[in-house]
A and B are shown apart, each in its own frame.
Chain A
Amino acid sequence: MATSFQTTIENLRATRVWKSIFRRGPAITNRTRSVAVFGNLFLHWLPVKVREKSLRVRAAYYLGSLSFLLFLLLVITGVLLMFYYHPAAPNAYRDMKDLRFVVSNGVFLRNMHRIGAHLMVLLVFCHMFHVFYRGGYKPPHEFNWVIGVVLLILTLFLSYTGYLLPWDQLAFWAVTVGTNIISAMPIIGSKVRFVALGGNIVGENALLRFYVLHVVILPLLAFLFIGVHFWRVQKDGGLTVRSKDDDGKN
Chain B
Amino acid sequence: MSDTKEITRRDFLSEITVGALGVAGLGGAALTYQYFSPNVLFEPSTTFRAGNPDLYPANSVTFLQDQQVYIVRTPDGFFAVSAVCTHLGCVTQWKPEANMIACPCHGSKFEPNGKKIEGPAPRPLPHFSVTLTADGELLVDKLQVIKADQVLKV
Contact = CB atoms under 8 A, between A and B. Distances in A.
Contact of B89 (A180, A199, A203, A204): A180
B12 interface: no
A198 B87 CA distance: 21
Nearest to B122: A184
A192 to B, nearest CB: 10
Given A195-B36, A195-B37, A201 B88 contact: no
A181 B38 contact: no
Given A194-B37, A195-B36, A201 B90 contact: no
Contacts of A200: 41, 43
A136 B14 CA distance: 41
Interface residues of A, number: 14
A217 to B, nearest CB: 12
User: Lowest 8 A-B CB distances belong to which pairs?
Assistant: A180-B89, A177-B88, A180-B88, A176-B89, A195-B36, A199-B41, A198-B38, A201-B43
Interface of A: 173, 176-177, 180-181, 194-195, 198-201, 203-205
Given A173-B90, A177-B105, A199-B41, 13 more contacts: A176-B88, A177-B88, A177-B90, A194-B37, A195-B33, A195-B36, A195-B37, A198-B36, A198-B38, A199-B43, A200-B43, A203-B42, A205-B38
12 contacts: A173-B105, A176-B88, A177-B90, A181-B88, A198-B38, A199-B38, A199-B43, A200-B41, A200-B43, A201-B43, A203-B42, A205-B41
